[in-house]
Amino acid sequence: REVTARQADIYIQLKLNGQPGEQFSVSVALGEGSITEDFVI
């Protein structure tokens, strides 16, 4: 799922749900830069 911030936004909020042990990643990109972090519930 993708969420895009508007220019006036100061944060992005997205409700997540899953099962214990389930893995997911979050990617944030701005211009040419990006970062991805992996998580486990």
The Cα 9–Cα 20 span in angstroms is: 31
- Tell me what the pLDDT averaged over the chain comes to: 92
> What's the pLDDT at 39?
96
| Sign of torsion over alpha carbons 10, 14, 36, 31 | negative
Q: What angle is formed at CA 11 by the lines to CA 39 and CA 36, rounded to 5 degrees?
A: 30
Quick count: other Cβ atoms within 10 Å of Cβ 11? 5
* Model pTM score: 0.68
Residue 21 pLDDT > 90: yes
Longest dimension (CA), the chain: 35
